[in-house]
Structure 1
Amino acid sequence: MNNTHRERRQFLKLATTGLAAAPLAGLGMATAASAQEQLPHLDEESEEARALNYRHDATQVDHPEYQEGQNCGNCLLYTDPSAKEWGPCAVFPGKLVAEGGWCTAYVPRG
């Protein structure tokens, strides 16, 4: 068998494996999204939220560190920027924060 046939055979094996794995990759993303939806929303009155002056609505924040336009959705610590309305935050593990929220741990997304 010449080199071209070996390369073609190897390519076909890899392509077939990739096609078989594609639906499984989608399942993993769906599972992660489903798990995220089951997390509770961070309570503004919880000790952890109050410690960092967290508010669900950044437009209602009255804090010297807050700057207009800052919100969880454009914060580096909002770990799933594609999450709309509520998403995970590295500062509040196991809880979802409002995309339009804010806290003093805000770090602008580069």
Structure 2
Amino acid sequence: MNDRDHNAGRRGFLKFGAYGLLAVPMAGLGWSTTAQAMERLDEGSAQAEALDYVHAASDADHDAYEEGQVCSNCDLWTDPSAEGWGPCAVFPGSLVAEGGWCSAWVG
């Protein structure tokens, strides 16, 4: 391998690394717009029904439900700054009600 090939390889590596560093902040922008584009979870969906999800915790009719448990104080609520509706690790791609509840609630 001659010096020219070595320098070209190093240059390519450095360019690739620089583009990667520039892409990191831009990826965060994509994630936030994706979160905004998510739809609210339908209580009638198969996934919601399987976990007894309700938009209002006071409507929960499950033995595991305890007063005060809501989606926003669950450990699976993934965006503490979300208000009204937010993402949940159990329902990827959907937003759940801040005051909702499901049987996967953990505190």
TM-score w.r.t. length of structure 1: 0.69
- How far apart in 2 are the matches of 1:66 and 1:75? 12
Aligned to 1:68: 67
- How far apart in 2 are the matches of 1:34 and 1:43? 21
TM-score w.r.t. length of structure 2: 0.71
1:46-67 residue CA offsets vs partner (Å, 9 max, x unmatched): 0000000000100121211100
Q: Mind listing any 5+ residue stretches in structure 2 that lack a counterpart? A: 1-23
Q: How many residues align?
A: 85
Runs of 4 or more, structure 1, over 4 Å off, are 25-31
SS of structure 2 residue aligned to 1:64: coil
- How far apart in 2 are the matches of 1:41 and 1:77? 16
- Stretch deviating more after TM superposition (81-90 or 48-57): 81-90
Identity of aligned residues (%): 52
- How far apart in 2 are the matches of 1:38 and 1:30? 13
SS of structure 2 residue aligned to 1:67: coil
- How far apart in 2 are the matches of 1:86 and 1:30? 19
Matching residue's letter, 1:37: Q
1:58-100 residue CA offsets vs partner (Å, 9 max, x unmatched): 0121211100000000000011111111111111111111111
SS of structure 2 residue aligned to 1:93: coil
Per the alignment, do residues 35 and 85 of structure 1 end up closer, same or farther by CA in structure 2, a change over 3 Å counting? same
1:78 maps onto 2:77 in alignment: yes
Matching residue's letter, 2:100: G
- How far apart in 2 are the matches of 1:81 and 1:52? 22
Q: Mind listing any 5+ residue stretches in structure 1 that lack a counterpart? A: 1-24
1:34, distance to aligned residue in structure 2 (A): 2.6
Aligned to 1:17: none
Aligned to 1:5: none
